[in-house]
Amino acid sequence: MTATELELQLAEEGTKTLSMQQCILDNLHPLGHYRQDEDQKVYVSISTKFLATFKTLLSRSTTALSSENMQFYKPPADGSARDNLMTRWGGMLFRLMACEPFPSCILEFSEDAIITVHLAIVNEMNLFPKQVISPTTDLKVDVSVVSARQMTITSKISVHEAKVDSQLLDFYYPGLSFNGFHGDNRGAASFYLKTNEFVDCQEEFYLHISLQLSADLLAVPLLIGPFSLSESVDEQPMSTLRPLYISAAEFVSIKESVSDLPGKIWDSAFFVSTAVFEYSRDKDSFNILDLSTGNGAVGLSTLIRIQTIFPNKETRLTLTDLEEALPLITENVKDLKNQYSIADVINIQEYIWGRSVQKLIQAPFDVIVACDLIYENEFFSDLVNSLDDLCTPGKTRIFIGYKNRGLTIEEKNNLWDSLRAKFTVERISVKSNVAPGHDNIINDDVGVEVWQLYKNFISQV
């Protein structure tokens, strides 16, 4: 496989820039490898296949983690341990991620059939700043089994903690003697399963993994799978799903892309979904457009939350993106149709900003979602024009989720000036449930801006 070598000059010891560089390099796998010489120079060897992805990730990560652009978390007055930990780096939501080698997709029920899941705690860009977890910090995880049919935690199968292989611990996770993390963002969970009642061998399951509520860090939980009891099932790639909570105990599971940035659930999604739901409360009917939806997370979780809490409300959803993103969106819609009555209310369409909006067949819309779209300056005029064409005065409310990932102050100000020329623009505060027991996280505290835009009946000049 052809490789390209890049050279990076490391910053001085003790600087935040060096910490940021080391963070990116530590999380480089599986895109490539690096070596360092005595002169603080690093040589990064990247497979040519992943070069473009790496450069994009490096550029956005450098900007997002830089001290000049970072939105730091401001802890509440109680100064709890979790808030203090978040303050050390600040301005981001963490999430659990499964790492290779993945467990077999065939489940067995025996104390000898130990399942080990390798884990990491990362931010939305799959990066982790080392300063967040001190060498003495212990973070424990809970593991439960979720039925693939209902996507709810099942009582049929119980999870029992097992000892991790000592050689594995010494080599990968020194000091770790429990399921979770010890002084590092890399950890593991080892367990075996027991059946509490009859389980159909054709039934599929997912593993739901979350930090314990008492842990000194907030991280969005993880689902991986599917797993089966049948050995006749072919081994298949492990899928990563992210739960978006629509109540204290119920969540909508959205499949993420593990390698493609547009297929991820970004930080803004957790708050924009809540903002749209709250806006829908006093509406008899509700028609949503999720513009450049990525994997459908915001639109789908909002739709299902509305239908679950207000079953008599007539709700429709249109999901748009570029052609290459549609397969993942379609897959998520298909999976959720097996659990919810959404078959006839969802429309999936290709749409490119700046083009005619006449083909969006479910228009006009009550709400337009534009979540985590703002990071490339060259497309802003097309985005503004599309939002202008799609917005019906006196009817449509636009919700924008934004997080600084590369725009200069001038670029951001220019965009907002363009929006203010066409809309009334208001910044709002949203409180959302991003993980079990954490239903009061405010968007501004994790560097997410939520804006609402609208036009009055009288045209604005």
Share of the chain above pLDDT 90, in %: 34
Residue 60: predicted pLDDT: 56
Residue 128: predicted pLDDT: 73
Residue 203: predicted pLDDT: 81
How far lies 402's CA from each of 25, 375, 411, in Å? 26, 9, 13
pLDDT of 406-449, one tens digit each?
677 888 889 999 999 999 999 999 999 888 778 788 888 888 89
> Taking 60 as the threshold, does the pLDDT of residue 77 lie above it?
no
Residue 99: predicted pLDDT: 87
Residue 363: predicted pLDDT: 80
**Distance, CA of 461 to CA of 440 (rounded, Å):** 39
Residue 337: predicted pLDDT: 87
Of 54-68, 96-110, 128-142, 404-418, the one with minimum mean pLDDT is 54-68
Fold designation for 83-237 = Immunoglobulin-like (2.60.40)
Higher-confidence position of 387 and 54? 387
pLDDT of 327-355, one tens digit each?
999 999 999 988 888 878 999 999 999 88
To 5 degrees, how large is the angle CA 130–CA 134–CA 138? 115
Strand ranges inside 18-137, DSSP E? 32-36, 41-47, 94-99, 115-122
Share of the chain above pLDDT 70, in %: 74
Whether the Cβ atoms of residue 107 and residue 193 lie closer than 8 Å to each other: yes
Residue 250: predicted pLDDT: 86
Q: Domains of the chain: which residue ranges?
A: 3-65, 83-237, 259-454
Q: What is the pLDDT averaged over residues 42-69?
A: 59
> Taking 80 as the threshold, does the pLDDT of residue 38 lie above it?
no
| 429: helix, strand or coil | coil
Confidence band, pLDDT 50/70/90 cuts, at residue 3? low
| pTM of the entire predicted model | 0.80
Confidence band, pLDDT 50/70/90 cuts, at residue 271? very high
Higher-confidence position of 280 and 6? 280
Q: What is the CATH number of domain 3-65?
A: 3.30.70
**259-454 to CATH, choices 3.40.50.2300, 3.40.50.300, 3.90.850.10, 3.40.50.150:** 3.40.50.150
End-to-end CA distance of the chain: 57
8-state DSSP, 174: T
pLDDT of 231-240, one tens digit each?
655 666 788 9
Q: What is the pLDDT averaged over residues 314-323?
A: 92
At 38, list the tokens: 């005595």
The whole-chain average pLDDT of the chain stands at 80
Q: Could you please report the per-residue DSSP string of 127-170?
A: ---GGGS-TT-EEEEEEEEEETTT-SB-SSEEEEE-PPPHHHHH
> Taking 50 as the threshold, does the pLDDT of residue 126 lie above it?
yes
pLDDT of 368-416, one tens digit each?
999 988 777 778 899 999 999 999 999 999 999 998 776 778 888 899 9
Q: What is the pLDDT averaged over residues 86-107?
A: 74
**Distance, CA of 128 to CA of 29 (rounded, Å):** 13
Q: Per-residue b/e over 229-250, b at no fewer than 16 CB within 10 Å?
A: beeeeeeeebbbbbbbbbeeee
8-state DSSP, 438: B
Higher-confidence position of 80 and 244? 244
Residue 238: predicted pLDDT: 82
Confidence band, pLDDT 50/70/90 cuts, at residue 80? very low
